[in-house]
Structure 1
Amino acid sequence: MNTTTLPTAPRTTAPAARAARAMRRLGPGWFLVSPSVALLLLWMLVPLAMTVYFSTIRYNLLYPGDNDFVGFENFYYFLTDAGFVPGMLNTLLLVGSVLLISVVLGVLIAALLEAAEFPGRGLVRVLLISPFFIMPTVSALIWKNLLFHPVSGILAALWKFFGARPIDWLAEYPLLSVIIIVSWQWLPFAILILMTAMQSLDQEQKEAARLDGAGPLAIFWHLTLPHLARPIAVVVMIETIFLLSVFAEIFTTTSGGPGYASTNLAYLIYNQALLQFDVGMASAGGLIAVVIANIAAIVLVRMLGKNLTEKY
């Protein structure tokens, strides 16, 4: 009996595979991107190395000659500083509150814009997104002088119109004022991402749900909201990374006060470095803030990855 032998693909041995990978590493692509990678590493590693070095010495700008090695002493003093616990709590409150406001209002506004048909809807979308493109210092000055001012502000005029005493928001409710300012600036980002995601929702599923008798709330809860799980995770991840380093709004409006009422970690580090001139202690605080930011980023990336795995 004649048998036909089919041709088989040659097997790639382990040495051959390693050689192929080595050839790819030596290809022209690596040489083309190597200057950018080297510059990026220098851009990151040099400041990080200097921060680590300054965090281990007693380096005060008022006493530049005293640079004794102190080990982890700066970390201990920063963690036991009177402003660390309030700064940490204020950072968590700021990040959590802004995320909650951005996600909840972002979903509601995006859903309303997607469902409602009215003249000028494109202009409304542009106006809703525009605050995101305003510089943080400018937006903080607008809120401080035009809205929150206890004498000439718009809110003070409304309070006087109804016969109530105007509120000095930045003095009586400093952290709440900062949360409102930051939320106003980051809410358009959430609206933009969620509105774009809603446009990719399959309209046939919504029509089928309507034919089956589902109302608007049922469609929103069972179709729209699950569809927005991935965009919401992206919004939370990106905003958290940026909100951990909020500084301009606090510096422009409350300067961290009264006391430590509106001080977050970023402003506390600035206070140690440029107001108390303790660069060593500020460097230790910067490394602690970097560790906290990386932990938050890792947790959020894992949450996002889990979300994508379950969805797809």
Structure 2
Amino acid sequence: MKSRVSLIAVSPSVLALLIWMIVPLALTIYFSLIRYNLLYPGERPFVGLENFYYFLTDQGFIAGAMNTLRLVLSVLAISVVAGVLIAVLVDTPFFGRGVVRVLLISPFFIMPTVSALVWKNLLLHPVSGVFAAVWRFFGATPVDWFSQYPMLSIIIIVSWQWIPFAVLILMTAMQSLDQEQKDAARLDGAGPLSIFIHITLPHLARPIAVVVMIETIFLLSIFAEIYTTTGGGPGYDTTNLAYLIYSQALLQFDVGMASAGGLVAVVIANIAAFILVRMIGKSLTDKA
């Protein structure tokens, strides 16, 4: 009786959630199977898998896929390495540690568009940026980052946003590290590097796996930073899959092919999430 009452109580919320998820997905599937161009709204013939073929053979797809892979792997490497090092450093007691911890995680709460604008106009600008002033101070020619190193600029901006997340997770994990184990290792003659390799890193294996999984899912859909700074250019140099789909839908007005691209991106994201969940599950099983 109680289970039936509970089922009736949660049914409206579950039904609302299913509608919230299924309706947009169903519309996307529908649009991906028809030729729907906003310039010709009255023409919607059924074309089957034609949109998928054109999306996968488009010259921007390979560039977008490779740029997405480069962006995800680069930001993951930077954020995990920097997160581990910073978490270990701030784990040591020092004056003002609480304030430093708050400052370290604060960039994560800044909106992506705002942080991209700050980096574009205040830091990386070739004329009025802080980096340009430093370059001129040392007698060097300022770098036009978004023209000469566009993908590196995006990686720097996104890494700056996601390092605090890694620091927050890993810094919290450091609180549960057994200090007596470290003290015993020091009494046995182990140095800081040995303690870090043999005690700290194994302890952070699970939190690092969680950071990698969560960041990967979000990094696959990076858009605001690219839209605000480079607009996907020069050419396709900073175009990832998310920006490519936006370009096809709202710049080229091809909703059908953009919908097909959205479904391809969903499949890629689900494959990545499945692999990461399996890897993390295996890691947790091995550690148990």
Q: TM-score, normalised by structure 2?
A: 0.99
SS at match of 2:200: helix
One-letter code of the match for 1:191?
V
Offset of residue 27 of structure 1: 2.2
Offset of residue 203 of structure 1: 1.1
One-letter code of the match for 2:275?
V
Return the alpha-carbon distance in structure 2 between the equivalents of residues 207 and 29 of structure 1.
Answer: 51
One-letter code of the match for 1:48?
L
Is 2:175 aligned against 1:199?
yes
Q: Which stretches of structure 1, 4 residues or more, deviate above 3 A after TM superposition?
A: none
Offset of residue 118 of structure 1: 2.1
Return the alpha-carbon distance in structure 1 between the equivalents of residues 181 and 9 of structure 2.
Answer: 47
Match of 1:230 among 182, 206, 213: 206
SS at match of 2:142: coil
Match of 1:173 among 138, 145, 149: 149
Is 2:31 aligned against 1:54?
yes
- Percent identity between the aligned chains? 77
In structure 2, the partner of 1:40 is: 17
Is 2:187 aligned against 1:211?
yes
One-letter code of the match for 1:122?
G
In structure 2, the partner of 1:94 is: 71
One-letter code of the match for 1:192?
L
Offset of residue 255 of structure 1: 0.3
In structure 2, the gaps of 5 or more residues are none
Is 2:105 aligned against 1:146?
no
Return the alpha-carbon distance in structure 2 between the equivalents of residues 32 and 206 of structure 1.
Answer: 51
Return the alpha-carbon distance in structure 2 between the equivalents of residues 232 and 289 of structure 1.
Answer: 25
Match of 2:232 among 248, 252, 256: 256
Return the alpha-carbon distance in structure 2 between the equivalents of residues 202 and 138 of structure 1.
Answer: 40
Match of 1:162 among 138, 157, 176: 138
One-letter code of the match for 1:170?
F
SS at match of 2:227: helix
Offset of residue 97 of structure 1: 0.3
Offset of residue 119 of structure 1: 1.2
Is 2:76 aligned against 1:108?
no
Offset of residue 210 of structure 1: 1.1
SS at match of 1:205: helix
Match of 1:290 among 240, 260, 266: 266
Return the alpha-carbon distance in structure 2 between the equivalents of residues 32 and 291 of structure 1.
Answer: 33
Is 2:61 aligned against 1:81?
no
Return the alpha-carbon distance in structure 1 between the equivalents of residues 158 and 257 of structure 2.
Answer: 28
Return the alpha-carbon distance in structure 1 between the equivalents of residues 104 and 90 of structure 2.
Answer: 10
Q: Deviations over 1:233-258 (max 9, x none)?
A: 00000000000000000000000000
Match of 2:217 among 206, 225, 241: 241
Offset of residue 131 of structure 1: 0.1
SS at match of 1:83: helix
Q: Deviations over 1:97-154 (max 9, x none)?
A: 0000010010001001113x32111111111100000000000000000001010000
Return the alpha-carbon distance in structure 2 between the equivalents of residues 186 and 45 of structure 1.
Answer: 30
Return the alpha-carbon distance in structure 1 between the equivalents of residues 7 and 200 of structure 2.
Answer: 44
Return the alpha-carbon distance in structure 2 between the equivalents of residues 133 and 40 of structure 1.
Answer: 27
Match of 2:48 among 71, 75, 99: 71
Return the alpha-carbon distance in structure 2 between the equivalents of residues 238 and 186 of structure 1.
Answer: 11
Return the alpha-carbon distance in structure 2 between the equivalents of residues 130 and 100 of structure 1.
Answer: 20
Return the alpha-carbon distance in structure 2 between the equivalents of residues 253 and 207 of structure 1.
Answer: 49
In structure 1, the gaps of 5 or more residues are 1-22
Aligned residues: 288
Offset of residue 213 of structure 1: 1.1
Return the alpha-carbon distance in structure 1 between the equivalents of residues 195 and 4 of structure 2.
Answer: 53
Q: Deviations over 1:163-199 (max 9, x none)?
A: 1111110111111100000000000000000000011
In structure 1, the partner of 2:197 is: 221
